[in-house]
Structure 1
Amino acid sequence: MTFRTLRYDADGRVATITLNRPEHFNAIAHGMPAEIRRAVEQAEADPDIHVIVVRGAGPGFCGGYDLKHYAERKGETGGSQEMPWDPTLDFAAMWRNTQDFMSLWRASKPTVARVHGAAVAGGSDIALCCDFLIMAEDARIGYPPARVWGVPTPAMWVYRLGPQMAKRMMMTGDLIDGREAVRIGLALEAVPEAGLDAAVERLVGRLRGIPRNQLMMTKTVVNQAYDNMGLNNTQMFATLFDGVARHSPEGLWFRERAQEVGFKQAVAERDSGAPIAAHVSRRPPRPAE
């Protein structure tokens, strides 16, 4: 099986999925979510594989979707429709991506995210869909678009952190480092980046000697508890609201501002603490031509 956006390697009962767009900080390109699912399915079908590791090539794990491209580009894009927008089209595309990422969670074999540099926005979605996170101490993780223009569609923050800390991460869009991720229970371990491979190997070494059927049964026991809590329904709400966030008055302002002054300046204004509502025009959208 060939891949365009990632590499797949198998050795010693371990399948390694490497997000492989280092020149773009492994940004989520068209087709990457589907390739992640295909790689997981390949590992699932291989009886010699007991553990799946996900990592990023180059300076970091994954910078998420290329929001700069989607925000600054004029006209309709994959992330923004012309108004009035059709939420069903938006939902269909993002729901497909969400389910592709969730293949890591639903795999019968344990999945481990090896996080260095940063796992931000959609990159944090990929990491949080893995069973375990091992992070470099100075690596960053979070979902900044939750401030304006996005909602994390897998919605794994609440299931991994509980309501209070999930609200903190999702409402503030804060980025936290590996040390804090361990402190709040998001990551299993944080080590200096030079020791990251060794830390991953310690965990993988404990897992790969366990029979595949035992791994499947114990993972299923935990996962079904989250299914019973309504994980699928939560993700449906989150995926729908993600589209709403990009087409709300504030979302439209953010995109227009990015086109006027550039994405970086628009983000600075978004995160300045000033009320965004003061900048937003509430006039009705123009009818479609």
Structure 2
Amino acid sequence: MAYSFILYEVADRIATITLNRPEKRNALNGALVAELRQAFQAAAQDEAVKVIVLKGKGEAFCAGADLDYLQQLQVNTYEENLADSRELMSLFREIYELDKIVIAQVEGHAIAGGCGLVTVCDLSYVVPEAQLGYTEVKIGFIPALVAVFLVRKIGEGKARELLLTGRLVTAEKAAVSGLITAVVPAAEIKEYVAKVATGLCKEASGNSLKVTKKLIGTVLDLSLRESLELAAEQNATTRGHEDCRKGIAAFLNKEKLIW
């Protein structure tokens, strides 16, 4: 499929989705959100893809909402704004619930909706120079959708600080709070992310990754008793999966297994 605002490529079981509006600092608008949804759905359905890397072209990862887009929102009806909000909601939820692991490679600032994208990825590696934050309250908007995911990710207290102040934080502080996975020097990040993605492809069962990701995203919605029961059921189901049989056989026979 041809895209206007993103780049999409697949190599060595890794799909790379690149925000491609560098002249606009990869700012989000309705068309870009729609293309991102299409690209993630394509990667989800492609059996040749095991891991997805999300990054931005140019100096910024994503600067939030496009200015023209923000102006359009002012004249939309409530119904139009609700439909538009649900598109972004669907993108965030699809990334969060996707059966495959999504890695954010952040080589520039990630602000507002851009930081939202980082928030819903499974792993995120960020250059030291990048700043991250949710600045919506500073323009009379609210970080509504991302709040749902951020509270789950870093807890209520830390989420309150970021969402209510609207302050940008350094990559180092974002790592300390648990917002991102790690800070990686700019000269090393491309190779580092490739190594992590390749490791997931070769060293971990696709079924195990899928089930573990789903379990992590589900247990917070359940009681302790329900979570443990679900975990026990998933444990039993996974033991009967072909991947588990292969993995245990390779371990017992001291064989190197390439997934």
TM category, shorter:
0.7 to 0.9
Aligned alpha-carbon RMSD (Å): 1.8
Residues of 1 paired with 2:96 and 2:169: CA distance? 22
For residues 67-82 of structure 1, the aligned pairs below 5 Å read 67=67, 69=68, 77=72, 79-81=73-75
For the residues of structure 1 that align with 2:222 and 2:142, how far apart are their CA atoms? 22
Q: 1:89 to 1:70 in 2, by over 3 A?
A: closer
Instruction: From 119, 128, 144, give the equivalent of 1:128.
Output: 119
Say yes or no: does 1:157 pair with 2:158: no
1:212 aligns with 2:206: yes
Q: One-letter code of the match for 2:206?
A: R
Residue 149 to residue 39, structure 1, CA distance change in 2 (3 Å): same
Q: What's the secondary structure of 2:146's corresponding residue?
A: coil
**Residue aligning to 1:184:** 177
Give, in whole Å, the separation in 2 of the partners of 1:119 and 1:19: 12
Tell me what 1:225 maps to. Answer: 219
Deviation per CA, 1:112-157: give whole Å up to 9, x if none. Answer: 0111111101111111121111100111110112234222223222
Given that 2:118 and 2:180 are in contact with CA atoms closer than 8 Å, whether structure 1 keeps it comes out as no
Query: Please, what TM-score do these two structures have when normalized by structure 1?
Result: 0.72
Structure 1 regions of 5+ residues with no counterpart? Answer: 230-289
Q: What is the match of residue 108 of structure 1?
A: 99
Structure 1 partner of 2:250: none
Unaligned runs of 5+ in 2: 224-259
Q: Normalising by the residue count of structure 2, what TM-score does the alignment of the two structures yield?
A: 0.80
Q: Is the 8 A contact 1:161 1:184 kept in 2?
A: yes
Give me the whole-angstrom Cα distance separating, in 1, the residues matched to 2:85 and 2:137: 16
Deviation at 1:191, TM superposition (A): 1.6
Deviates more, 1:186-195 or 1:50-59: 186-195
Overall identity of the aligned pairs, in %: 30
Match of 1:98 in 2: 89
User: 5 Å matches for 1:187-266?
Assistant: 187-209=180-202, 210-228=204-222
Distance 1:202 1:180 in 2: 24
Higher mean C-alpha deviation, range 37-46 or range 94-103: 94-103
Secondary structure of the residue aligned to 1:208 is helix
Give the Cα–Cα distance (whole angstroms) in 2 for the partners of residues 34 and 226 of structure 1.
29
Identify the residue that residue 168 of structure 1 maps to in structure 2: 161
Higher relative contact order (CA 8 A, sep 6+): 1
What is the letter of the counterpart of residue 160 of structure 2? K
Q: Aligned-pair distance for 1:173? A: 0.4
Which one has a larger percent helix, Structure 1 or Structure 2? Answer: 2
1:58 CA drift (Å) = 0.8
User: How many residues are treated as equivalent by the alignment?
Assistant: 220
What CA distance in whole angstroms lies between the structure 2 residues aligned with 1:146 and 1:157? 16
Distance (whole Å) between structure 2 residues aligned to residue 204 and residue 158 of structure 1 = 26
| Partner residue, 2:10 | 10
